[in-house]
Structure 1
Amino acid sequence: MPLTPSIGLSVLVHLIVLIISGLRRLFRSKKKNRRIAARERRSRSPALVSRFLGMMIPLTISVVIFSGAFKLVELALKNRFSSIHLAQQYIAATRAEESAADASADESPNRSLASLIGPAMTKDVGPLETGTSSFNCLPLFNHFAVEYDWSVVNYLAAKGQPHSLADRQALADQLGVSDYDGSNAKNTELFKALYLESNDENIANINACDLFIANN
């Protein structure tokens, strides 16, 4: 049966209606899917935030603890190095003082005896058993508060002789000064032995000078 124009038009209208309804359903389903996705995203956001916070809080605490420990170690090292630096400065200062003292001690024997003693070492003590009215009190360094061992050291240095402790011990053995140890008393004893050279007159003079200075 041949198609009439009215039947063909009716079929075309039905097709158009079906296409339009299909498109509407498609758009509706897309909108619905979008709403569902948005709802899921909104419901998922608190979970993501809580998960993020759950990760960040322990990480932040760990960073704070590590930073505090690092600062403590840094302070301890600074204090340690500061103490070492102060100790080094103290040692350096002590060594400098010792070097200065050694240099002063090394220079002192090179000074002349006259500059150390001065003219006041000549004392007039009146008539003595030796028949002299004045004599040189050269050995009595202690009267002018000079170190006792300077007397021996300076006397030897003035004569150009070696004057170390070992040299003085050897001289003491030669001159019969027993148990020489570098002490004040032994230095005075060695000085007298060197200066007097077993001269009885000088021995009397020095003994009289000792008495005079002790009484004045």
Structure 2
Amino acid sequence: MDDALFPRPRAEIAPGAVHLPGWLTPAAQARLLAACREWARPPAGLRTVRMPGGGEMSVRTVCLGRHWFPYGYARTVVDGDGAPVKPFPPWLGELARAAVADACGTAAADVPPYDVTLVNFYGPGAKMGMHQDRDEKADAPVVSLSLGDACVFRFGNVSGRDRPWTDVELRSGDLFVFGGPARLAFHGVPRTLPDTAPPALGLSGRLNITLRVSGL
């Protein structure tokens, strides 16, 4: 669907949760994709996350700043190759602060410095179950950027994984920020929409770049 003909307005999905369609320009998407490809290289590169019960997540993940594992953070890839986690680049922190300022209507200078990134790659059939982002020691908003294929993003409530929830289509370049009363809302990705990525981007699948303040 042509966004020029059918523009997608910004929307408050729940108190504290804001969707800003097309926030990243095509050039910004290309730059972020190039960075993700470098971050995905070993050591401390893209990996499959194994849950404590033995199951594997269908997305693959690479971390910056601190390494996330179920259910905590470390300085090294404790559940992978053991390498030190890649550093969190300052420009990415500035991008996160600009995103929060735009979504929340505040000055970027008033947004705390971001220091952790989880980059999730969704290949064919990958999805993410309903969960909370609760391993951080800070309550700053979570910033989510999408690249590549569109997905159905399910944003729920703070009480549990069941309804009520709202399904939002996230496309390449979209920004989603959730904080305040929505900071611990359950959310997930029940499915991606294959072959919907912008052809010029050159990405097969979906990348989700989430930025957080660890408080550690």
TM category (shorter chain) comes to: under 0.3
- TM-score normalised by structure 1 residue count: 0.23
Larger Cα-atom Rg: 1
Structure in which a larger fraction of residues adopt helix: 1
- TM-score normalised by structure 2 residue count: 0.23
Structure of higher RCO (CA pairs closer than 8 Å, 6+ residues apart):
2
